Amino acid sequence: MDIANSRWLWLSTLPVVSVVLFQAAIFLRRAWADGKEMGLSDEQLKTGFKTGVISAIGPAVAVLVGMLALIATVGGPVAWMRLTVIGSVAFELPAAELGVSQFGYSLGDGDISETAYATAVWSMTLGGTGWLLVSALGTPHMEKARQKLGNGKEKLIPIISSAAMLGAFAYFLTGEVAAGTPETGSVAVGGLVMLVLLRIADKRDIQWLREWALGTAMIVGLLVGVVLQVTVGSWW
């Protein structure tokens, strides 16, 4: 852990995190400029920005909690770097465990060697490279694919985009629903809270409630999952 939290490791991860922050700044500037070209007002752009920030609170809290677990196993610098780039504790922890297990260790052991630790870091880094390559090489062609699926019919494009987003969410949720009672309860209650809040916001035209709906639903869902885990456990 002295090596895992050393000054040199902090310095080596700083460039990677800086690149991610630089990308975020570029995306924000580009989004603002494109919004202007589309005819959106400053008020609409500010509302969209605020909504995005608020909606990111729930996922950010989940990543932060996972980072605490990762810090205890691979140290602060690597945890900071990996979750800045990928943001998936569900991938990083198993990848680190896979690395140290090749030398007969398990995460949490107090006598993990430097070689085993380095192997864990390489496992996390190389294992996540595929996602980055697909994003870098595939993203420029996604708009053409979307247009081709729409077959020249402009009305179909937003429908296809919405269907793809719903499919992605459904793919991730099905694994959670089948995992056990706490996960099922968390998904169900979170979804119901989201529907209720959006219905109230639309009926009474409450803009701030729309902005906080996603974050609130995620937090309520997490709390329900914890309560079910502590009280009844998992029934399957």
Cα 113 versus chain centre, distance: 31
Say yes or no to pLDDT of 150 above 70: no
Predicted confidence at residue 62, as pLDDT, reads 67
Which residue type does 77 have? P
**What average pLDDT score do residues 27-47 get?**
90
Instruction: Express each pLDDT in 202-225 by its tens digit.
Output: 898 887 787 778 778 888 988 999
Structure confidence at residue 152 as a pLDDT band (50, 70, 90): low
Predicted confidence at residue 26, as pLDDT, reads 95
Q: How many CA atoms lie within 13 A of 202 on its CB side?
A: 6
Spell out the domain ranges in the chain.
Answer: 1-150, 153-236
Q: Residue 58 phi/psi, 5° resolution?
A: -60, -55
Query: What is the C-alpha to C-alpha distance for residues 33 and 12, in angstroms, rounded to an integer?
Result: 33
**What average pLDDT score do residues 173-188 get?**
86
Specify whether the CB–CB gap between 83 and 92 falls below 8 A: yes
**What average pLDDT score do residues 137-150 get?**
75
Highest mean pLDDT among 109-118, 142-151, 168-177, 182-191: 182-191
Q: What is the DSSP string of 28-46?
A: HHHHHHHHHHTT--HHHHH
Which residue type does 26 have? I
**What average pLDDT score do residues 170-188 get?**
85
Q: Which residues are within 8 A (CB) of 122 and not within 5 positions of it... i.e. 6 or more apart?
A: 99
